[in-house]
Every structure is written in C-alpha cells, then in structure tokens.
Structure 1
Amino acid sequence: MSQQKSHRQRTTPVSAASLAEAAVQQELRPGQSIELLKELHILTRDGKLNQDSRRKLKQVYHLFQFIEPLLQEFSQGEHAPTLADHGAGKSYLGFILYDLYFKALGRGQIYGIEWRADLVEKSRLLAQRLGFERMSFLNLSVADSADAAELPERIDMVTALHACDTATDDAIAFGLQKRARAMVLVPCCQAEVAACLRQGKALQLARTPLAELWRHPLHTRELGSQITNVLRCLHLEASGYQVTVTELVGWEHSMKNELIIARYTGQKKRSAAERLGAILREFGLEQMLGARFGVAAATPATT
C-alpha cells in the first residue's frame, strides 16, 4: 500500500502538468504561435492560461470572427490580401491576424502604422524572431500614412483598434483614399466633438431645448462620443460602404467597446449624406467639422 501511495505521489505532478498543457492547447487554435501569445501576455511566461488571459483570448477570437470572413473573401482567386493596421501600438492586432490567417495562407501583407518609433522597432524585431516575413512596420502618423511610398496604391482592409480621437477619422480618410474594400474600426477617446459642443453651448442652449443633452460636462463628453461615431457611420455610408455597428466585447470589460465594420459596395447613400449635413447643422458643428466629413459648410451670413 505504501509503495502504491509513493508511486501516485511521484506520477501525479507529471500528470497534472500534462493535463494543464492539454487544457491550454484545447483553448488555442491549431498552429498558433505559443511564443507570440506569451509576448502578447495572452499566455503567461510558463505557457499557462489564467482567468485574465482566458478573457483576453476570447476577446481576440471574438474580433477575429468578424475579420476572418472578409479576409477569406479578399483572398479568393489567389489574390494576396493587404491590410493596414493604424495606430498599431505594439501591433497586437496585426500579429494575431498574421498568426491566425496570413501565416497559413502563404501570401498577403500586413502593414503596421505607428508613430512611436520604439514600438515600431520592437514589432520589427518580434516579427523577425517569429519568422513573420510578410509584416512591415512604418514609423508614421495615421494622417501622414496615405501618401507613404512604402504602401501600395490600394489596400484591401483597414483596421484601427482603439485609435484615439481623430486618428480614427484619419484611418477612415486613409481607407477612402486607398479604396479599401473593408474597414474595421474600434474608436477611442473622442474629444474633438465634445470640445466643439462646449464652445457653442451658451448659444445652443438659447436656440434649442435639445442643448440640455450636453449642458452638463459629463453629458457633453458622452454625447460628443456618440455623435462622433454616428457621423463616421453616415460618412462611410455616403461614401459607398455598408456599415454594421456592434459590440467588441462585453461592456463589463471595456467602455471603449463600439465596433464599426464597413464594407465597400459602391452604393453611395444620398440620404446618409443629407442626414450627415443636417446633424452637423443641428449641433452647430458644420463650420468646424464639415470639411472632415465631406460636407461643405454654408458661408456665414454677413451684415
């Protein structure tokens, strides 16, 4: 009996480790790079999944399920799909997309665009170490990237995950210029419209009771964020895109949670352009923001 107990004590740790490894592999997709998942802190340094990393992994897969069908469509006929990831940061999204799709596809290119030089260099080194040969990293702002010689004339897909404030608008402008077939956007920290609302608050309060919607500073910030994304969706629809808005993850994980998916159809909606202009005028934003959203501001009346 004592020998059997001693034998169980010696073999149990090995069995537990094997079970833990098997459990991790069951959570992952076939062929995923373990080293990459460690670098992205989805796996712990010893290759395990804790509760937080399991939540991150589910978020990654949730986002990927929206992007994968588009990439599959763009890869038909041996086409080599191109993707530009704006405000890439540590290129979290680009690396995941390459690992889950581009690596097995064997063709196509991902361009990570980031203005912080140190993050660009780290991404370059990581891609080299992992053998992700068809990833390029450009040390550019989103606004300056459209005319960069390193980028092709056309881009199939544009992504921007948590690109702050007007960087999302710059990513949209980039996508329009590059005639992108799809854009996948998760906006973040929209402050510009809120600042415009604050600037004209006194006049608007006298003009319309709707200004009560942004009389208090907290409401100004929230409404500014809401209006910004509505304007973006209308701008995309007026430019020939079919737009879907959904949640990226549960609201308990992040308040920056709105996922905008735009797919080019070529059908430019006149009603979207008209409503876009009407909203800008109604909120007193036409002079400040009209040009950004393709709306010519009316010339102020002179006395």
Structure 2
Amino acid sequence: MKKNKPAKPAAPAQQDVAAQLGLRPGQSLELLKALHILTREGKLNQDSRRKLKQVYHLYQFIAPLLEELSANDHPVTLADHGAGKSYLGFILYDLFFKPLGRGSIYGIETRAPLVQASQQLAADLGFDRMQFLNMSVADSTQADFMPAQFDIVTALHACDTATDDAIAFGLEKHAQALVLVPCCQAELAAAMRQNKALHLARTPLAELWRHPIHTREIGSHLTNVLRCLYLEACGYQVTVTELVGWEHSMKNELIIARYTGQKKRSSAQRLRELLEQFGLQAALAHRYPLSGVAAP
C-alpha cells in the first residue's frame, strides 16, 4: 500500500500575512510581492523583513508630516533621494498618496536598472503620480524640469555625501521638512586624516581621532552634528533620534528637520567653531555655506 505524500503546506491566508507584517487595511500585497518582500506564494521573505521594518518605522515619522502638509487640498510633492529599489517611495504611495488621490513622488537614483525596474512597477500598479529619475542627487538640484518647490525631502541610507546633497536640494527647493537617515560617511574622516599629525601636536582633542577606527567613528558622528547645526542655521528645527533598534541596523540615526524660518545664529557660530577646531574650513566650506546667516 502506497503511502500518501505529505501535502504541501498551504500558502498563508492574506489576513495572516497582513497580521505578521503589521500591514494597514487596504495595503497591496501584490506590491510587496513585486518588491520581493513577500514570495509569490505570499510567504514572508526573511531577507527583506529588516528593510521593511525600517521603512515602516520611517513611515510613522513621515505620515504626520504628510497629513499636515496635505491639508487644504494641497498636492504634496516628495523627493526620495538615493531611492534604490524605492521601497520607501512605493510604500508611501500605497499607504498615503494613493488613497489621498493627489500629490507626487519623485524617486532619484543613479543606477539605471533600478530606475527602469521602478518605472515599470509603477506603470504595472497604476501608480501614475510616481516618477523615477536616473541622476545623482547633486544633478537633480540643477535639473530645470523638476518642480521649483518640494514639500518633503527624504534620503534613506543615501551614501556618504549624497545626504549632504539631499540637504542642499531641500534648501534649494524650499522644503518644509527633511527626513534623513545617513549612511556611510567618508569625506570628513578623509579630511581629518590629512592633518592628523598637526592636530595631535596642537590639541589633546586630536586623541579622539588618532587611531583609524576612531577617525572613522568621530568623522561619522561629527558629520551629522555639522549637518544638524547647518539646518538649524538655515531656519529648521531639528530632531535627532533612532530609526529602529540597533539590532536591525548600525546606520540608525534619524534626522528630522522642520522649517520654521528662525535661523539660529548660535548654531551657525558653533558650526564655524567646529570646522575651525577640527581644521575642516578649507575641505568643507562648500558643504555649509553660511553667507546668509550672520555671526552673533
């Protein structure tokens, strides 16, 4: 007598998958499959859960900004820099822009295959208010076909100076809010290494970056401190917090800047002093132009 082969486990019901992922009502499972967060059978793709968790946490911070800025029937414009596979942009559109019925998302990415894939997916899903541009963050600031103003600028793990370029874009486009999760940062650490011997002789503070690993860590931390001071000097209220638990990502610092118009002269002065203290004026003056902010 032949034994019956064990039946293949059934694909999980949609509501079970939705519960496991913490999805909101009406969220597209087909989108999550297309992004390879779910398998075709509707099962969880474990490799993508960490990324999804980060995006959902970031959405919780962005959603109140979207709700506020979309008041009075305003069509919110959002630029997502270093978009990659556009996890963030697609989920923002699916959860907020699609049901709202207005507003646009621009995904900016340098890798042409990712841009093409995102364009095709947006067309397949009918997400007609999403555009994807194959260009650098810096080039997008000067692109004359872009809207003159954006309401929100996001950059999730935009590498090295791309986060600085996203800040410059936000300032140029008069953004009401910037939501930034910086990634690898090498520019400032490289500048610190060049003058390390001189600073070791001049100040004991240089011991903070004498060893290469400390140069990298201090360089990363100082980069974000300078970014926050610069945003405050340019009229933004800045909040810095964790995106998710450190067990999910070591690149976990979330910077949220809201425009108030109150340019803090004290922040501009502290920024100048830090650049001088670390010998970074020549290397980074172009990153933090303060000509419009008077010293106290």
Moved more, 186-195 or 20-29: 20-29
SS at match of 1:251: coil
**Aligned match of 1:275 in 263, 267, 270?**
270
Aligned to 2:95: 100
SS at match of 1:150: coil
Aligned to 1:88: 83
Question: What letter is aligned with 1:191?
Answer: A
Q: 1:128 to 1:201 in 2, by over 3 A?
A: same
8 Å Cα contact 2:54/2:244 also seen in 1? yes
User: Structure 1 vs Structure 2: percent identity of aligned residues?
Assistant: 73
Give runs of aligned pairs for residues 26-105 of structure 1, distance below 5 A: 26=19, 27-49=22-44, 53-105=48-100
Aligned to 2:244: 249
Q: Deviations over 1:137-173 (max 9, x none)?
A: 1111111111212211000000011111111101100
Aligned length: 285
8 Å Cα contact 2:12/2:43 also seen in 1? no
SS at match of 1:163: coil
8 Å Cα contact 2:153/2:170 also seen in 1? yes
Separation in 1, partners of 2:194, 2:155 = 29
8 Å Cα contact 2:153/2:179 also seen in 1? yes
Instruction: With the length of structure 1 as denominator, give the TM-score of the two structures.
Output: 0.89
Give runs of aligned pairs for residues 82-161 of structure 1, distance below 5 A: 82-161=77-156
Give runs of aligned pairs for residues 289-300 of structure 1, distance below 5 A: 289-295=284-290
Matched, 1:284 2:289: no
List 4+ stretches of structure 1 deviating above 3 A: 16-21, 50-58
Matched, 1:163 2:158: yes
Separation in 2, partners of 1:114, 1:51 = 25
Separation in 1, partners of 2:163, 2:51 = 23
8 Å Cα contact 1:86/1:113 also seen in 2? yes
Separation in 1, partners of 2:261, 2:124 = 41
8 Å Cα contact 1:160/1:184 also seen in 2? yes
8 Å Cα contact 2:82/2:137 also seen in 1? yes
Separation in 2, partners of 1:143, 1:62 = 27
Q: Going by fraction, where is helix more abundant, 1 or 2?
A: 1
Post-superposition offset of 1:195: 0.2
Matched, 1:210 2:210: no
Matched, 1:231 2:226: yes
Q: Deviations over 1:122-141 (max 9, x none)?
A: 11001000110000111111
Structure 1: state its 5+ residue gaps: 1-8, 297-303
Q: 1:140 to 1:53 in 2, by over 3 A?
A: closer
SS at match of 1:202: helix
8 Å Cα contact 1:277/1:290 also seen in 2? no
SS at match of 2:247: coil
Separation in 2, partners of 1:146, 1:37 = 31
Aligned to 1:23: 16
Aligned to 1:199: 194
**Backbone CA RMSD of aligned residues:** 1.9
Q: 1:195 to 1:98 in 2, by over 3 A?
A: same
Separation in 1, partners of 2:31, 2:11 = 21
Moved more, 171-180 or 147-156: 147-156
SS at match of 1:146: helix
SS at match of 1:113: strand
Separation in 1, partners of 2:246, 2:13 = 30
8 Å Cα contact 1:20/1:48 also seen in 2? no
Separation in 2, partners of 1:57, 1:88 = 14
Aligned to 1:5: none
Moved more, 16-25 or 66-75: 16-25
SS at match of 1:293: coil
Question: What letter is aligned with 1:223?
Answer: I
Aligned to 2:216: 221
Q: 1:294 to 1:257 in 2, by over 3 A?
A: same
Instruction: With the length of structure 2 as denominator, give the TM-score of the two structures.
Output: 0.91
Separation in 1, partners of 2:117, 2:133 = 12
SS at match of 2:157: strand
Separation in 2, partners of 1:43, 1:243 = 35
Separation in 2, partners of 1:185, 1:141 = 16
Separation in 1, partners of 2:81, 2:114 = 13
SS at match of 2:142: coil
